[in-house]
Amino acid sequence: MKQVVLSFFTRLLTRIKQPLLPHINVHRAVQRLIKICGEIKSGPSENEEIQFLCTLCAKIKSDPYLVNFFLEVPKNSDGPKYAQLSPLSQMGPKSSKRSLEYSIVNSLLAMCSSEDGRVAVKACEGLMLCSSLPEKSAVTCLIENTDFCANLTNRLIKLYQRLPSTVNPDDLDAVYAKWGLDGISETENQQTFPGKRNVVSFLSWLDYCDQLITIANPTVARAFARFIYSNFLVAFIEPAIMQTSESGVVAATAYLRRCLKTVVSSILLSEFVRFILGDEKKPEKSQESSCKMKMRLIERCNHLSEEISLISLKLFDTLLQKNCSFIVYNLVLRNLEGGKHIQSGVSCHYSLQSKCPASLADTVFSDSITIETMSESDDSKSKDLTQTPPSSVEMERLAEAIDVQTLSSDDSSHVSPLHSVSKDGDQNSPQPDDQTVSLQSNSDTEKNHIDSATDNVSVAETSKPQQQQQQQQPQQQAVSEINDSDNLFLSQDNKAPEMTIKYYRSEVHKVINSFLCLLPEDIKSALPEADSGYDMYLRDAHKQFKSYENMCQDWKWPNQMDCSTESDHGFYEGAFLQMLFSKVSQMLHQSYAVNLQVTSVISRLCLFPQPVLHDFFLDPALPVTKDIKLLYSVLQKVVSDIKSRKKSKANFSQMLQTTRKLLINEHKTIDSMRHESVPPIFCMDTETFNEMSAVIVLEEFCKELSAIAFVKQYAVITRLSL
């Protein structure tokens, strides 16, 4: 009989077009039917019950005001819980402040735990509809008078407690889990790794919570996310992360990282970020931090256990891929935006307000292969990148525009297309006026190194402005104007405040040459006649930078340093940057996997379209104060260490070539190396392999940094040309 009545009301609500629910005789009968739904778990009428509830939720979603007829206030608060309930629409203002009954939500919550997967999924869909209603009364009742937040969070906690106590992070990364598609057979569960079914169930439910928060009313979403933060993250994840067991720490950190990869909604993501990084916005002070979780994770990046160090680095790598500007600001940018690392009396300029030179459109843009051929897909174009010429820019042509002249076969050294720069490329660069001095370095060592690197690729010295100009080809003239456009950081009115010295970002070809020539030719593992793979690095850098631009286009962060800010302490790069530079300086003593992960984190920071970050990581000549480390200076010290080790090893080059053949083929880049397992070592001891692999990682990392600098400059030029 119950099934018949439920089916009748379901068909009635579906087919009748007239508004029946506002009638008291209808909604009272419907309300009584709602209360009997979910009373018996896995009952014979379960399918009819969920169909009835979902139909009712759809009706309320189409007309949200109808929900007030199903928010009931007990007439006698001392009586039974469900005795003599009256709809909220019939109550006065005083009655609306009393405890309300939200029977639809209560019934749906009961049916979410049904053994029938289809019933449970439909109940979850009904909760999504109820949580997305705009009515304030329904929102308040859902948060305060139901177990909505507690019920869903408790289920997440129970599933987390069933997870395996030990897990391989690589196996965890390979798990695919989506809400509603969490079925897995017992055979598959055992063939992959024990406990995979529990992992899939947990991640599927987390995905549901994330989707619900995405579409829910903002008030409901924030309340639910805060409940997850306090009752799940703080109560269960934090003790697991802080434990002393190494295997437990690895598993807990891997689960936290996998949760981060699952979360998409900005509200829930912000709670995860607050849990990991805290909410500090002021510049860091050495040995001071109110977020114990962040400091513990950073410390573990230098842990004696390679597993703990590696998974901690991967956690930060995952953080830097999330769409949240506070992550980059908290980890790095808040310590750099004050400009305390810049020499006193120096003004750095970043705002790009100049137009592309006229000759650029005539000589650089061609009608052949377009820049879009470097991307695998054109579906995800950002608002900024939609302004690129649709079918006019060729990557190889632009590379040639930076005076690509590959050295002939009888030259002593092999130089890539990105290596080669015209001898005349600098002679047409605009010279600064009397009040503007272009700084190249705060260190004579860096300055000499950069100059020598430039000489190796036949770049004319910029310190000779009186040198007679040679006859320029149109293409070379366009390149000179491209470099000029990169330096025009002031507005055309020149209304910037007067400073003693003005510093302009280094030309892109100098940055490229500095990184590509960092390692001497006799230390490089790639043979001179072999393909160095620069085209693959350009494609990877373009694709990654495009996705980062897409992600960051709505971020609100500072576009230049505020050097006028006074502080009671000197410059401190922060614990995160300090850790990264320390790991880079120890490359020769670290494993191949750790070095790959460290360079991955740094390359992600370099990809962000943020001028302050760009200059700190990719400008070797940035005029920093004494004892301030730049990425380039840290890499220089590593190269010096490699040179000294080479002298003590007679077969250094042979071992380097052997290691390269083991790790890299002609179709690999450093990004593809990061996604592959370390091959077995048969030909040398572990210490020697770590040294040789570190040299190879450094060599490929320099190529990656050069490609990133080139692609970011190319994106600027493309926009300026419009």
Share of the chain above pLDDT 90, in %: 42
Q: Point out the least confidently predicted range of 81-95, 319-333, 558-572.
A: 81-95
| Region 242-267 average pLDDT | 96
- Residue 626: predicted pLDDT: 84
Does residue 410 carry a pLDDT above 60?
A: no
Query: DSSP state, 86?
Result: E
- Residue 104: predicted pLDDT: 93
With bands split at pLDDT 50, 70 and 90, how would you rate the model's confidence at 669?
confident
DSSP string covering 399-441, please? HHHTT--PPPTTSSS---TTT---TTTTTTSPPP-TT------
- Residue 622: predicted pLDDT: 86
Quick one: three-class SS letters along 31-60? HHHHHHCCCCCCCCCHHHHHHHHHHHHHHH
- Residue 148: predicted pLDDT: 95
Cβ pair 236, 160 in contact under 8 A = yes
CA torsion angle 64 65 70 74 (round to 10): 140
With bands split at pLDDT 50, 70 and 90, how would you rate the model's confidence at 311?
very high
- Residue 589: predicted pLDDT: 94
Q: Point out the least confidently predicted range of 89-93, 381-385, 491-495, 517-521.
A: 381-385
CB count in 10 Å sphere of residue 383: 10
Higher pLDDT, 41 or 107: 107
Does residue 270 carry a pLDDT above 70?
A: yes
User: By three-state DSSP, how is residue 72 classified?
Assistant: strand
Does residue 718 carry a pLDDT above 90?
A: no
Higher pLDDT, 348 or 715: 715
Q: Point out the least confidently predicted range of 61-70, 185-194, 280-289.
A: 185-194
Give per-residue pLDDT as tens, 476-508.
443 344 344 344 333 334 444 444 566 667 788
Does residue 329 carry a pLDDT above 60?
A: yes
- Residue 357: predicted pLDDT: 32
| Region 647-670 average pLDDT | 82
Rounded distance between C-alpha atoms, residue 427 and residue 424, angstroms:
5
Does residue 64 carry a pLDDT above 80?
A: yes
| Region 30-45 average pLDDT | 85
Distances (CA, A) of 562 to 71, 341, 503, 504, 610: 54, 12, 15, 16, 14
Which of 395, 616, 634, 610 is CA-nearest to residue 511?
Answer: 616
Give per-residue pLDDT as tens, 523-556.
888 766 555 678 889 999 999 999 999 999 888 8
Higher pLDDT, 442 or 308: 308
With bands split at pLDDT 50, 70 and 90, how would you rate the model's confidence at 354?
very low
Residue in the block written with tokens 């950069």: 450
Higher pLDDT, 500 or 250: 250
Give per-residue pLDDT as tens, 361-398.
333 333 333 333 333 333 333 333 333 333 333 344 44
Higher pLDDT, 261 or 486: 261
Mean of all residue pLDDT scores within the chain: 76
**How many CA atoms lie less than 13 Å away from 321 in the CB half-sphere?**
16
- Residue 672: predicted pLDDT: 78
Structure tokens given for 595: 């070095």
- Residue 341: predicted pLDDT: 78
List 347's β-bridge partners, or say none. 502
- Residue 531: predicted pLDDT: 59
Element (H, E) at 344: none
Structure tokens given for 655: 């071992």
CB count in 10 Å sphere of residue 38: 24
Does residue 667 carry a pLDDT above 60?
A: no
Rounded distance between C-alpha atoms, residue 323 and residue 265, angstroms:
9
Residue in the block written with tokens 């070539």: 657
Higher pLDDT, 393 or 188: 188
Cβ pair 659, 679 in contact under 8 A = no
Which of 340, 188, 165 is CA-nearest to residue 254?
Answer: 165
Which of 316, 266, 195, 196 is CA-nearest to residue 603?
Answer: 316
Does residue 47 carry a pLDDT above 80?
A: yes
Quick one: three-class SS letters along 608-632? CCCHHHHHHHHCCCCCECCCCCCHH
3-state helix, strand, coil in the chain (%, to 5): 55, 5, 40
Higher pLDDT, 41 or 677: 41
Give per-residue pLDDT as tens, 454-474.
444 333 333 333 443 443 444
For residue 714, give every residue at least 6 positions away whose Cβ sits within 8 Å of its Cβ, in sequence order, or none. Answer: 398, 542
Give per-residue pLDDT as tens, 576-632.
999 999 999 999 999 999 999 999 999 999 999 988 899 899 999 888 888 888 999
Does residue 343 carry a pLDDT above 80?
A: no
Residue in the block written with tokens 């990148």: 385
Rounded distance between C-alpha atoms, residue 66 and residue 245, angstroms:
54
Query: DSSP state, 333?
Result: I
Share of the chain above pLDDT 70, in %: 68
Structure tokens given for 674: 């990061």
List 624's β-bridge partners, or say none. 342
With bands split at pLDDT 50, 70 and 90, how would you rate the model's confidence at 194?
confident
Give per-residue pLDDT as tens, 127-183.
999 999 999 999 999 999 999 999 999 999 999 999 999 999 999 998 988 888 766
- Residue 455: predicted pLDDT: 46
